[in-house]
Each structure stands twice: as structure tokens, then as C-alpha cells.
């Protein structure tokens, strides 16, 4: 089934060409907005474009030219976006830095990429200055905020003349080097050209309808390609407004959403899980008649369909701050089916997608006209998906082709060669299958699959999805381990309980200080109960508890590789 697009694209263009086009056509529309103190900082497209050119003028004076690498570091904010666009306008290559990395990790990336200049928020500037001498290529550090030590953007915007001419770059020139550790622990620089990124932006523009008057609410980290492509560049490409959340505190996010009425959200599944759990938490506090009313409304909504859900649960959606949402696009990790089902039943316009850093990133999305959120959706315009070496069930490694697929990893030709087939398919490392209509279903990571002695494949993500339905399990990791008594391999799990719900459970039982055994037995009961939904060979035979959340990547995927040895010791 071909993706049912809603409109024609605008054509592929470089990031600077897009910046010029939008900065001219949408000159008086608000482009970037963020609450600061009691007021709002706002930049129209015209003002944004002017500051991009002035920053590029400064970069040119500092000797930045085509092929040079420039990093940007900081929290989501208008100045981050302007810096990114200015680096591209100067013809240089952008190396975004993850603000959650340690200073030594940032130093390694800048050294490996040979970064010549860094633009950083004030909170990160001092740390970088301490290690600046350890990065031979790094000549200049610029602060996004007013600063007495470094050159800074407010000063640059006041003093420098705009660099008016477009850079001499093509679609095939390198736009971004994106360093991503992923879940395997190995750091690689993903090279993305202007064609890679902007062809993906154009595809996004074709598959959802948005434009001036729409507001994207930005909460995912801008250094990550999902937010950068789909929530930043795609928004500007279509003339929409971007509102940056001042923080990730729920109350402050809701205040910002109430004030700006966003219509488009890019989210990761963890956020949606928290929203659903918060709704249920409020419901548990409600009187019996309200609980009964809610249940009755859900039954009525099934009969009345989408229009009924929109009306019946409007107040619930408004309380989350998503009352005006037309698109909530989930990516970065697999969306648990129970979460998507619950949100659909409450009338949230939720659409699951799939992609990778190496594909700029979007490969598939559920079409707004006909979503199947059990799946990752249909291949977007310009993208082909193929299942490589499928087994008898049709499951195999997901392969992708398209203009959005990277040319390779920076300085790693051998690593690049490993991820492409001889006939040019990019090997995603994910396993999945296509249904008869072409919808893609993800079953797990190829490196995570567990093969039993009987030759059966177990996808840990499937088991984790079932067991995480328990209100007492916050996070779970399913791995292959060894029975300490028999030495035979078996399925094991590591569980981080939902301690808030655990405490409430024991409080209701009159137990104010539950022991470790009490908690263990509660989780064992839950695993035993929910495991009934799984074939016997998929059920964890042993588990252990942990007291803190699992370490994760910036897209909230658990770093599975850190726990392989742990499972062997259970």
C-alpha cells in the first residue's frame, strides 16, 4: 500500500535555501518562541533569518568555511536553532552535542570531528573552556548568552553585518555529523547530507497537513535527529511556529501548552506512558460514580467512533495540555500497544513512526487517514522498505533505501560497509515483518534476539511490552541468562518497580514498611500473571530487582549492553 499523502512536496533544497525561502515567505509569522521569566521571547521568521545571517557573518570572520566543523551545545531554545541554521548558512558542517554527555565524552566527539568552533549555552561554556586546550582543533567558544569572557550571540547580533549570499554548497554536501552511542555503547558519527535531511523534511511535509497557524511544541532534545528533522526543520519548512518548553517539569510544561495551544507534538513513548498513568492515577482518586461514568463513556465512545471520542473526552485531553493537538507523533522507541490503545480510546490523535539516525531519521509513519498503531506504519514518500532474509514467519532484518539514507559513518569505512548489502540496502539492525498492506511491524533488535535450544526466536521487546503492563513494573529488561543450579540457559529479567504504586498497594494492605521479600513477591505475582499471555518458552524463569531506573540513551532506550553480564549472574 502506497503512503496516502495529503499534498505535494515543495521540492528538495539545502538547509540554507530552506532558511531563505521561509525567512522571506513567512517573514512576519512567529518562528521561535519560549517563555523566559514572566514574559515570552519571540522571533519572527524575518528576525530569525536576520540573526542567522549575522551569526554566519561572524563565523565567516572567524575563518569558518565550507567543510569546517562547528558544534552547538545547550538546552532547547531559540538561540540553539539560530546557531544551527547559521552554521549551515556559513557553509560549514554542524556537529550537535548531547547536553547530557560528560565533558570527556564531548571532548572526544569534538576532537574526533575536528571541531573548529563551538556555540554553547552559558551553563555549559565553563566546562568546555576547561578542556579547550585538550582539543587541538577548537579555536573559539561562543556563548549563546551575554558573557564577559567569550564572544556571545547578543553582541554578535548587534555588531555584525548580515552575510547575505547563500553558501556555495549542494544537496550532496555534508550538513551534519551526528554522534550517537545508541544502545550498543559504540560511538559513531553518522554523516547526513543536505539531501538526506531535507528529502526527509519534504516527505514529512507531504504526509501531514500543517503550516502557518500551527504550533509545534518542542520537548525532545534538539541535538537528536528526530527532533531536529521532524520538530525543527520540518516546522520551519512549512511556516509553523515552534514553542520551546522552558523545562520538563509537568506543571510548567502544561502552563506553556495552555498559553500557546500547540497542535503538533513529537514525543517518545515514555512521555505518553506517563500521561496515561497520570490519567489513571487521577481516576483512582475519583468517587465511584465518576469511575462508573468514565467506564460508561468509554463504552459509548466505541459506538460513536472518532467524533464521539473527540467530544466525550475533550476535558481530559485539555487537562494534559494537548487539547488542541491534531498530530501526536511517537518515535525514538517502540510505542507499547496498551499505551496507543488507551490514547486512541480517549481521542488523542496518536501516530507511531519508526526511523534511525542513519536515515535522517523517518522511515515509516502511520498515516493519519488509516493508522494501525500496533505497527510502525507505512513507508513514507521516497522510502522503500524490504525484509532481508525473512524466516518462515516473514520476520527478518529491516532494510531501507531512499535519499534519506546516510552515505556512511565518519572516518569509519569498514563500519559503513557492514551496514549495507551488496545491492545497496541499509541494514537497520531491527527485526520486523510487513503485513499484506505494507504496514511494518517491529519485533526487536537483531542483536537482542534470543534463540532457544529448540530453535525458537524470542524477542525481548515483546516480553517486556507484555510485562510492563503491570502497574507495579516501571521498567523491565529481559535477557538470556544461566540457571545457577543447572547451568542451562533460560529467560531472565531485571525489574525496576513502580515504587509509588508498590507503596500504595502495601499501604492499602496496612503494611507501612514492606520488606524486600514483600516487594519481590508482589513483582513475582505480577510477572506470573502477565506471563500467562506469553508462550511458556518466552516467560522469565528468574528475575532480580533494582532500586533505580536503568541508564538510557537520549531517546530513552535502555542501554541493554550494560546488563548482559548481569543476567548471567542472576
Q: What is the pLDDT of residues 380-406, one digit of tens each?
A: 999 999 999 999 999 999 999 999 999
Q: Is the dihedral of CA 528, 532, 533, 536 positive or negative?
A: positive
The pTM of this model reads 0.84
pLDDT tens readout for residues 215-230: 999 999 999 999 999 9
Dmax over CA atoms of the chain, in Å, equals 74
Res 336: pLDDT = 84
List of residues 6+ apart from 557 with CB closer than 8 A: 182, 183, 332, 333
Fill in the DSSP letter of residue 10: -
Distance CA(15)–CA(390), nearest Å, equals 38
Q: Which of 411, 475, 353, 369 is nearest to 174 (CA)?
A: 411
Closest Cα partner for 370 from 273, 438, 275?
438
CA 12 remoteness from chain centre: 24
429-455 in b/e form (b: 16+ CB < 10 A) is: bbbbbbeeeebbbbbbbbebbbeeeee
Among 208, 272, 194, 258, which Cα is nearest to 238's? 208
Q: What is the 3-state secondary structure (H, E, C) of 92-133?
A: CEEEECCCCCCHHHHHHHHHHHCEEEEEECHHHHHHHHHHHH
**Cis peptide, bond prior to residue 361, ω within 30 of zero:** yes
Contact residues for 155 (Cβ-Cβ < 8 A; gap 6+):
146
Domains in the chain, please, with CATH? 450-568 (3.30.300.30)
Q: Is 357 helix (H, G, I), strand (E, B) or coil?
A: helix
Q: Are strands 327-330 and 174-180 parallel, antiparallel or unpaired?
A: unpaired
Instruction: Give the per-residue pLDDT at 183.
Output: 46
Q: What pLDDT, on a 0 to 100 scale, did the predictor assign at position 312?
A: 62
Contact between 502 and 525 under an 8 Å Cβ cutoff? The reply is no
pLDDT recorded at residue 74: 96
pLDDT at 101: 86
Distance (Å, whole) CA 526 – CA 138: 53
Chunked mean pLDDT (size 10), the chain, 570 residues? 92 98 98 96 98 98 97 97 98 95 90 97 90 94 94 97 97 95 68 98 97 97 95 98 95 94 93 84 68 62 61 78 94 86 90 96 96 95 97 94 98 96 96 96 84 74 89 92 82 94 92 92 95 90 92 78 62
Amino acid at each position: 500500500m502506497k503512503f496516502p499523502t495529503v499534498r505535494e512536496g515543495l521540492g528538495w533544497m539545502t538547509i540554507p535555501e530552506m532558511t531563505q525561502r521561509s525567512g522571506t515567505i513567512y517573514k512576519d509569522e512567529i518562528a521561535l518562541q519560549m517563555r523566559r521569566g514572566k514574559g515570552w521571547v519571540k522571533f519572527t521568521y524575518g528576525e530569525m533569518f536576520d540573526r542567522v545571517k549575522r551569526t554566519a557573518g561572524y563565523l565567516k570572520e572567524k575563518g569558518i568555511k565550507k567543510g569546517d566543523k562547528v558544534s552547538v551545545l545547550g538546552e532547547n531554545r531559540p538561540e540553539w536553532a539560530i546557531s544551527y541554521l547559521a552554521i549551515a548558512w556559513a557553509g560549514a558542517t554542524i556537529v550537535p552535542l548531547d547536553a547530557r554527555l560528560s565533558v570527556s565524552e564531548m571532548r572526544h566527539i569534538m576532537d574526533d570531528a575536528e571541531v573548529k568552533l563551538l556555540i554553547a549555552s552559558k551553563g555549559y561554556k565553563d566546562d568546555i573552556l576547561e578542556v579547550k586546550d585538550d582539543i587541538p582543533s577548537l579555536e573559539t567558544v561562543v556563548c549563546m548568552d551575554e558573557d564577559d569572557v567569550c564572544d556571545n550571540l547578543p553582541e554578535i547580533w548587534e555588531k555584525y553585518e548580515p552575510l547575505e549570499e547563500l553558501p556555495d554548497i549542494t544537496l550532496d554536501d555534508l550538513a551534519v555529523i551526528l554522534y550517537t552511542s545508541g544502545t550498543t555503547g559504540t560511538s559513531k558519527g553518522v554523516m547526513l547530507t543536505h539531501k538526506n535531511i531535507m528529502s526527509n523534511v519534504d516527505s514529512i511535509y507531504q504526509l501531514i497537513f500543517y503550516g502557518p497557524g500551527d504550533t509545534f511544541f518542542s520537548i525532545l532534545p534538539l541535538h537528536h535527529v528526530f527532533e531536529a528533522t521532524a520538530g525543527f526543520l520540518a516546522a520551519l519548512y512549512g511556516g509553523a511556529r515552534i514553542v520551546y518548553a522552558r523545562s520538563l517539569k509537568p506543571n510548567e510544561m502544561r502552563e506553556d501548552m495552555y498559553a500557546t495551544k500547540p497542535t503538533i507534538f513529537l514525543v517518545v513513548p515514555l512521555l505518553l506512558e506517563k500521561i496515561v498513568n497520570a490519567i489513571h492515577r487521577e481516576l483512582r482518586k475519583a468517587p465511584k460514580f465518576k469511575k462508573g461514568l468514565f467506564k460508561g463513556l468509554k463504552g459509548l465512545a466505541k459506538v460513536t467512533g472518532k467524533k464521539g471520542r473527540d467530544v466525550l473526552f475533550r476535558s481530559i485531553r485539555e487537562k494534559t495540555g494537548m487539547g488542541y493537538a491534531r498530530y501526536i507523533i511517537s518515535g525514538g522507541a517502540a510505542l507499547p500497544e496498551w499505551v496507543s490503545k488507551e490514547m486512541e480510546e480517549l481521542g488523542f490523535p496518536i501516530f507511531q513512526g519508526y526511523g534511525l539516525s542513519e536515515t535522517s531519521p523517518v522511515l515509516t509513519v502511520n498515516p493519519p487517514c488509516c493508522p494501525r498503531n500496533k505497527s510502525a506504519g507505512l513507508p513514507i514518500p521516497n522510502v522503500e522498505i524490504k525484509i532481508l532474509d525473512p524466516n518462515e514467519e516473514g520476520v527478518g532484518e529491516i532494510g531501507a533505501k531512499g535519499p534519506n539514507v546516510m552515505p556512511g559513518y565518519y572516518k569509519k569505512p569498514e563500519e559503513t560497509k557492514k551496514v549495507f548489502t551488496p545491492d545497496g540496502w541499509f541494514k537497520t539492525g531491527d527485526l520486523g515483518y510487513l503485513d499484506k498492506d505494507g504496514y511494518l511491524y517491529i519485533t526487536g533488535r537483531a542483536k537482542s534476539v534470543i534463540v532457544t535450544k529448540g530453535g525458537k526466536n524470542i524477542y525481548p521487546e515483546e516480553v517486556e511490552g507484555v510485562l510492563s503492563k503491570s502497574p507495579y513494573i516501571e521498567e523491565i529488561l529481559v535477557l538470556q541468562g544461566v540457571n545457577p543450579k543447572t547451568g542451562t540457559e533460560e529467560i531472565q529479567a531485571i525489574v525496576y518497580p513502580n515504587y509509588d504504586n508498590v507503596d500504595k498497594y502495601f499501604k492499602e494492605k496496612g503494611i507501612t514498611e514492606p520488606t524486600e521479600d514483600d516487594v519481590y513477591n508482589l513483582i513475582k505475582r505480577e510477572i506470573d500473571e502477565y506471563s500467562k499471555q506469553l508462550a511458556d518458552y518466552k516467560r522469565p524463569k528468574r528475575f532480580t530487582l533494582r532500586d533505580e531506573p536503568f541508564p538510557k540513551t537520549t531517546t530513552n532506550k535502555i542501554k541493554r549492553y550494560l546488563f548482559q553480564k548481569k543476567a548471567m549472574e542472576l
